[in-house]
């Protein structure tokens, strides 16, 4: 060992004790050995951005915890760097040092490349490691950045202050290892050339990782306001509005500045750290844990893309949970689009400093506000700031995904057309709760009570909610969607559209609608199937929301096995618990009750939980809707061929595809139906003989399970039957207007719900009927002429008969009777017009 190496070893030993007292580090990912397939036996060389003895000591500590090679100072006298050696791309910053590049790391890379060429069976791995202190992105212009900064590139005095003030906020981030045997490196080429290439790759990695983890530097708020007001798009609107003569340009500029203040976030790293500490205590008090799935791909792509998180919206806790978890997973917390209703004291100020920016519910009629908001959003995208918005617009009160509000999506595409530094990547996020934080208020709203406006008084009421226990939370990241690829798959020449930025492209409206639907399907494809959802789905399918405990256990086991044998998607999260454990969780959370008599235990839902259970059931209805539809066929049909089952499902599927955002295309339905049938046969729910399918014998417990499963799709089928019945009740030559069909369908659904005690509000949701009528038109099951109305085609009769054949006889009779009653009430309500005598 050389003298310099010995000196470094002594220095590290001296540093060890104070660092043990002052520094508490976290790492991302939490288990890099597993995520990157690393072990102590690998010849790992750690690569860091800036020279630091502190970093070497931290990697030594991490090596002990992870069972990886211990970090150590590199001995440049060796022919090949030893395992765990640390290479640095830059020298420590100094006021008097102009060239900070550390050329010694290239010499070590050359040695490694030559050793790899001589020993092809011994892979050498370079593991880039970034170390962040406090994760403060800093200001774009700040004199104090040299003396004290949150990044690792600080001088000796700055580093001392960082360890003293931010030592317990240290994050160690491991990057994707670079194997010297990879195809990107041709070992036959000159080693110096390859070393230079590796050095350049590593520098790019560290620059991008810094932005992905910490975020871009923040801009002074005064400069931000002045810059947006002075931007070309805003100035054009100001000049057009001033030309109308109602207000001067100066007045409009002042108003635009007020809009920026109303909209813009005032991001504060201190607030993020404060909220992180508070939320850690809150989450561990009210939740049994936060489970994160499928984040690896997002972490890798965050360095090269402008990330837009698009979660489902179930609770006010959504944006807090997502930002909190991203921060702790080593990713920059996003700027969040929040409704202006949340901008009340003191929540508004806290959220704004946490990265929230506020928008009004509607921009209609206010072009200046729209221009200011568009410009602010564009600047966020162009700086590389991760953004989060809820395309549903508001929280779902039914547990289903809401129809996307396409305003933010349209502004995102318009930002792309203006030109961005990074390609846009949408990251769908499914947020699942075992028990809802706002469950009590949702019950009132589900029963028709008006929504309460957010206020300080409502905020005080959260204290009571914090005394309860809410089970686990699931954050599942779905398959990312590249906006470039989506547009090109639809054959849209968006690059040509970007030339003329003043005109709104003709293709934009249909494209944002399709984009919103696709994101919703990817959110649903990452669903979490938990105990409460499964128990609710099962018990709501029974006449009195009650079931024998032993049969309930068997049914839950069957549902879990079915989800595994006929998987909905690779991103879905399935429970590993048994049916008994799932019930115990539901009992613990108070969602269900248990009653024991001499014949055995009965599990049931009662009171408000019966209403709220429809919410939980709807969370996963899309996963089981195809199995339920297949099961429903055998309620009225004794024997059916596979081909007939596939044909029937394909006939009805367009409605389910749009209503529940089911992921498969029409072409993919056939294979998926056959997969589900195979699972049914294996589970004993169906019997197959000579390509003919039949249900299990009615004395077999599997018959009851099949019939229970069939109930999940029944409310949807009844809704379809309602609109189809109204269409087929038209007299020859008679038509019905689209709006009237939607309205009459909703009225009939409300009547049927009242008569049959249906507690699910989505049963008569006007938006569902609007989508239903749209599909009838798109699939050409109705003839529609603008101004005259619509009437069913001959093909629609087959659809009507098919849907009715899946409903029980009492339901059919009740539906037809309710339809006749509605028609009679309409006739009685019409005013009598007396004939006037001829003149």
pLDDT of residue 446: 60
Instruction: Extract the tokens encoding 98.
Output: 């102009």
pLDDT of residue 838: 43
What is the secondary structure of 350-391 as a DSSP string?
HHHHTTEEEE-S--TT-HHHHHHHHHHHHHHHHHT--EE--T
Q: Where in the chain is the domain with CATH 3.40.1130?
A: 221-524
Is the CATH code 2.60.40 the one for domain 221-524? Answer: no
pLDDT of residue 466: 72
Which ranges of 447-595 would DSSP assign to H, the alpha helix?
Answer: 456-460, 462-465, 483-489, 494-497, 508-524, 531-539, 549-565, 579-588
Mean pLDDT, 10 residues at a time, the chain of 839 residues: 65 80 90 92 93 90 94 90 93 66 89 92 92 77 47 65 82 93 82 92 92 88 93 94 90 95 92 90 90 92 95 92 94 94 88 94 89 96 95 89 93 93 96 84 64 59 73 95 94 74 81 96 96 95 92 97 96 93 94 89 88 91 97 92 95 95 95 97 94 92 95 93 90 88 89 76 84 91 83 91 89 78 62 45
Instruction: Extract the tokens encoding 210.
Output: 């810094």
**Chain center to CA of 333:** 14
pLDDT of residue 760: 72
Instruction: Extract the tokens encoding 742.
Output: 């939607």
* Own/partner long-range contacts of 758-763 (Cβ < 8 Å, ≥24 apart): 758/715, 759/446, 759/610, 759/611, 759/614, 760/398, 760/614, 760/618, 760/715, 761/397, 761/398, 761/446, 761/447, 761/448, 761/614, 762/398, 762/400, 762/614, 762/618, 762/715, 763/715, 763/718, 763/719
pLDDT of residue 796: 92
Per residue in 155-206, pLDDT tens? 677 777 778 877 888 999 999 999 998 777 888 888 999 999 999 999 999 9
CB 146 within 8 A of CB 154: yes
Neighbours of 339 (CB within 10 A): 15
Instruction: Extract the tokens encoding 763.
Output: 């049963």
Judging by DSSP bridges, how do beta strands 124-133 and 170-174 pair with one another? antiparallel
pLDDT of residue 462: 65
Instruction: Extract the tokens encoding 230.
Output: 């002075």
- Cα separation, 52 vs 170, in Å, equals 14
Per residue in 7-16, pLDDT tens? 667 777 777 8
pLDDT of residue 811: 83
């Amino acid at each position: 060992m050389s003298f310099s190496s010995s000196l470094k070893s002594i220095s590290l030993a001296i540093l060890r004790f104070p660092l043990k007292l002052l520094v508490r580090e976290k790492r991302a990912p939490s288990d890099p050995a597993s995520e990157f397939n690393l072990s102590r036996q690998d010849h790992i060389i750690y690569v860091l951005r800036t020279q630091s003895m502190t970093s070497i000591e931290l990697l030594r500590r991490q090596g002990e915890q992870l069972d990886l090679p211990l970090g150590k100072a590199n001995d440049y006298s060796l022919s090949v760097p030893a395992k765990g050696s640390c290479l640095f791309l830059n020298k420590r910053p100094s006021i008097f040092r102009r060239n900070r590049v550390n050329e010694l790391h290239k010499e070590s890379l050359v040695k490694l490349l030559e050793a790899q060429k001589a020993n092809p069976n011994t892979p050498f791995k370079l593991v880039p490691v970034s170390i962040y202190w406090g994760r403060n992105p800093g200001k774009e212009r700040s004199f104090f950045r040299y003396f004290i900064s949150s990044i690792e590139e600080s001088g000796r005095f700055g580093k001392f202050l960082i360890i003293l003030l931010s030592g317990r906020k240290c994050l160690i981030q491991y990057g994707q290892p670079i194997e010297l045997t990879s195809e990107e490196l041709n070992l036959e080429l000159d080693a110096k050339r390859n070393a230079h290439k590796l050095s350049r790759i590593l520098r790019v990695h560290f620059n991008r990782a810094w932005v992905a983890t910490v975020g871009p530097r923040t801009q002074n708020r005064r400069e931000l306001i002045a810059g947006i007001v002075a931007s070309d798009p805003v100035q054009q609107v100001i000049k057009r509005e001033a030309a109308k003569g109602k207000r001067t340009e100066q007045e409009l500029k002042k108003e635009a500045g007020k809009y920026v203040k109303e909209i813009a976030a005032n991001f504060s790293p201190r607030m993020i750290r404060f909220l992180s500490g508070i939320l850690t205590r809150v989450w561990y008090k009210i939740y049994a844990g936060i489970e994160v799935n499928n984040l690896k791909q997002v972490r890798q792509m965050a360095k090269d893309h402008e990330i837009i998180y698009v979660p489902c919206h179930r609770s006010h806790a959504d944006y807090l949970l997502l930002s909190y978890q991203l921060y702790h997973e080593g990713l920059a917390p996003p700027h969040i689009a929040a409704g202006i209703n949340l901008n009340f004291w003191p929540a508004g100020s806290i959220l704004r400093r946490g990265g929230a920016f506020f928008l009004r519910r509607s921009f209609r009629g206010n072009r200046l506000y729209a221009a200011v908001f568009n410009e602010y959003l564009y600047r966020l995208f162009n700086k590389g700031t991760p953004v989060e918005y809820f395309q549903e617009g508001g929280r779902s009160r039914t547990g289903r995904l809401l129809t996307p509000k396409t305003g933010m999506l349209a502004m995102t595409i318009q930002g792309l057309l203006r030109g961005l530094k990074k390609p846009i990547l949408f990251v769908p996020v499914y947020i699942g709760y075992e028990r809802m934080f706002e469950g009590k208020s949702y019950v009132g709203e589900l029963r028709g009570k008006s929504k309460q406006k957010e206020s300080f008084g409502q905020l005080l009421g959260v204290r009571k909610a914090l005394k309860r226990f809410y089970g686990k939370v699931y954050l599942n990241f779905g398959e990312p969607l590249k906006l470039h690829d989506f547009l090109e798959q639809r054959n849209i020449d968006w690059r040509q559209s970007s030339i003329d930025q003043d005109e709104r492209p003709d293709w934009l409206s249909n494209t944002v609608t399709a984009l919103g639907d696709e994101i919703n399907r990817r959110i649903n494809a990452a669903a979490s199937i938990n105990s409460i959802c499964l128990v609710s789905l099962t018990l709501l399918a029974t006449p009195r929301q009650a079931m024998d405990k032993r049969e309930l256990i068997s049914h839950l086991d069957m549902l879990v096995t079915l989800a595994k044998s006929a998987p909905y998607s690779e991103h879905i999260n399935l429970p590993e618990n048994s049916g008994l454990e799932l019930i115990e969780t539901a009992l613990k959370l108070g969602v269900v009750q248990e009653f024991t008599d001499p014949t055995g235990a009965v599990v049931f839902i009662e009171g408000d939980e019966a209403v709220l259970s429809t919410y939980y059931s709807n969370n996963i209805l899309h996963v089981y809707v195809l199995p339920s539809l297949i099961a429903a066929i055998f309620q009225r049909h004794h024997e059916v061929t596979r081909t007939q089952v596939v044909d029937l499902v394909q006939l009805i599927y367009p409605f389910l595809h749009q209503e529940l955002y089911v992921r498969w295309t029409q072409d993919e339905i056939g294979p998926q139906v056959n997969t589900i049938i195979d699972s049914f046969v294996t589970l004993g729910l169906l019997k197959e003989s000579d390509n003919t399918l039949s249900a299990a014998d009615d004395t077999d417990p599997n018959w009851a399970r099949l019939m229970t499963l069939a109930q999940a799709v029944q409310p949807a089928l009844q809704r379809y039957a309602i609109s189809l019945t109204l269409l087929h009740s038209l007299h020859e030559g008679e038509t019905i207007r689209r709006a009237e069909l939607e309205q009459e369908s909703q009225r009939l659904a409300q009547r049927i719900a009242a008569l049959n005690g249906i507690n699910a509000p989505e049963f008569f949701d006007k938006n569902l009927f609007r989508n239903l009528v749209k599909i009838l038109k798109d699939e050409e099951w109705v003839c529609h002429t603008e101004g005259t109305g619509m009437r069913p085609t001959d093909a629609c009769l087959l659809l009507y008969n098919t849907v009715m054949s899946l409903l029980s006889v009492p339901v059919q009779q009740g539906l037809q009777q309710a339809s006749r009653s509605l028609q009679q009430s309409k006739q009685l309500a019409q005013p009598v017009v007396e004939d006037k005598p001829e003149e």
